[in-house]
Amino acid sequence: MDFEAILKEVGPFGRYQKCVLLLFSLLILVNTTHLYIQVFSSGKDVHWCKSWPSDDCSNLVISNPDNCEDLKRRLSIPKTNNGEVNNGSGGYDQCTKYNVSGIDLQTAIDLGDDVTKLDVIPCDEGWEYDRSTFPSTIIQDFELVCGKSYLPNIAQSAYFVGYLVGSAIAGLAADVVGRRVSLLLNVTAAFAVGLVTMFTPNIGIFIALRFLMAVAAKGIGLICFVSITEVVSPSKRILVGNVLWIFFAIGYFVLSGMAKLIANWRLLSLILTLPYIVLLVILFFFLQESPRWLLLRNDSVKTQQVLTKIASINRRSAPDEEVVSRGNPDISENNATFDNLKELIRTPAIVLIVVNMSFNWMVQNLVFYGLSLSTSSLGIDPYLSFIFSGFVEIPAYICCIFVAQWSGRKVSTVVTMLLGGLCCCSTALIPIGISRAAVAMGGKFFITMSYSIVYTWAAELMPTPLRSSGLGLFSLISRIGSIVAPLILLLEELWGSLPYLIFGSFALTAGLLCLLLPETKGKPLPSSVDDTKALYKKAKKADDGDEEQNNGTPSNVSEKPAVA
């Protein structure tokens, strides 16, 4: 008897799995808001040098007091010809002013055009900001303009670096101490960091907190996916994975709406952090450890307890202890593979899977974030633009539930990546405008589909002892793509279409390389490295037209129908 049969007894997709899926989905949604909160907390405003206090206007006798701020700007800020008129600055320089020190506003009015004969100096008294779009940002609070304008980008890069570190730590931790403990620790850390962020005194601490939040958030996302995959039947893996990603996309809408309602970025950060503590309490009392992981540790007593609780919630009968003890005999025979990454490189078949998946995940991140970060070129309200970027993901996740289940992981991944790559390349040939934006979003639609499918595919290829570590490795390497994507977008200064051609070329290459990987649709999750080897070898034999030969193949990778 294998674990899939035990799972069928306790309920392959019952009330327990559905409740856990809902809790995990809400965690993913909260993660999304913290991933993209900087879109609004560091939104760029038009700014100019501060010259006179605001109350100076009350001492003037002018026909229209509402125009006083514009008057001060005209009298103290030089005009510029470097193109800043296009960013809403009205053609005024944003980093220099006339040296009006010691000259009151009324005197400057009397001087008129003679003010322009004064020396031009850098801003020495701070800045004024146009707060019509972003009333409160870290740029305004920490004055991250002119010579410090690069620091918000450093903060976002720090977040992606935190994702990279989190991918490595979370995968190993989940395999060593268990899925449940690792998840609870990461949620606790995310809540603590989000709470402290509200009181950030300077940009240095803000960057450090963004890094720590990313480490925790990535751990949450990775462990949620692995945990839910291990307690559902093979036929439900694509479904549960895409439910998680749909909630990821819903996070765009929640964040945009909250940011529109809550102007202060510190308060916004606090409000978006509070759900972590609520979900933490619920998970602490409800979530059970992964029974697959417990079997891997040869803890049959604890496994029996967990399966009994799951069966009770699902209104099923608990399996007998004897059945559980031999629920996966191959695990005990291959327990030496636990936490031993050398198993990944002992055979060419395993190496091909690891290298191919690592490259694929990197490309997925490269194209996904590259297209996401370029949506601001649509030239519409930033809140609406952000919603549009998230909206295109929802139908993509829904579609791949049916596509991947019908055609399998391999065909659906190859086709969607090739279509995504073609859309990117086509975007390079279309003039700037709504048509180009539509094709680019078509590319994001297909890449979103492929990324969702390949996440499940990777989990189904990796054996239980190394599943979290393997996904952690893939996720770690994928961060290279998200870090490089903004740099590739800078190449548009050389040729506006070059970034899209690069994204498209990588997507086409990665899609074709997926043809070398085995199909996993309807197959039981491999319990050992030997199972993964057999899965790959059997796929190669099928491709070569040879007859299937088991020759000692473990029973849990046989061609029997998957447990429904």
Percentage of the chain beyond pLDDT 70 is 77
Q: Which domains does the chain carry?
A: 3-43+150-544 (1.20.1250.20), 47-130 (no CATH)
- Please tell me the chain's helix, strand, coil percentages from 3-state DSSP, rounded to the nearest 5: 70, 0, 25
Q: Please say if the pLDDT value at position 133 is more than 70.
A: yes
Type of residue found at 189 = A
| Mean pLDDT for the chain overall | 77
136 alpha carbon, distance to own chain's centre: 25
Q: Which of 157-166, 199-208, 237-246, 542-551 has the lowest mean pLDDT?
A: 542-551
The rounded distance, in Å, linking the Cα atoms of 382 and 339 is: 45
For tokens 């510029």, what's the residue? Answer: 80
- Which among 402, 398, 377, 403 is positioned nearest to 388, based on CA atoms? 377
- Backbone φ and ψ for 454, nearest 5 degrees, come out as -70, -25
The pLDDT value given to residue 220: 93
- 120 membership: H or E segment, kind and range: strand 120-122
3-state secondary structure of 97: strand
pLDDT at res. 178:
87
Higher per-residue confidence, 150 vs 426: 426
- How many other C-beta atoms lie within 10 A of the C-beta of residue 407? 16
pLDDT tens column, 464-515: 777 766 777 787 788 888 888 777 776 765 776 788 888 888 999 988 988 8
Q: What is the DSSP letter of 49?
A: E
Question: What pLDDT, on the 0 to 100 scale, is given for residue 279?
Answer: 95
- Please check the confidence at residue 86 and state whether its pLDDT lies above 90: no
Answer for the pair 180, 290: CB distance below 8 angstroms, yes or no.
Answer: yes
**Strand pairing partners for 97?**
121
Q: CA 369 to CA 364: how far, in whole Å?
A: 8
Whether the Cβ atoms of residue 26 and residue 38 lie closer than 8 Å to each other:
no
Q: Using DSSP, state whether 105 is helix, strand or coil.
A: helix
* DSSP 8-state symbol, 532: H
User: Could you tell me if 221 and 31 are in contact, meaning their C-beta atoms sit under 8 angstroms apart?
Assistant: yes
Percent of the chain with pLDDT over 90: 16
Q: What is the pLDDT of residue 186?
A: 95
pLDDT digits (tens, 9 = 90+) for 25-65: 999 999 999 988 887 887 777 777 777 765 556 555 554 55
Residue 113: which pLDDT band, with cuts at 50, 70 and 90? low
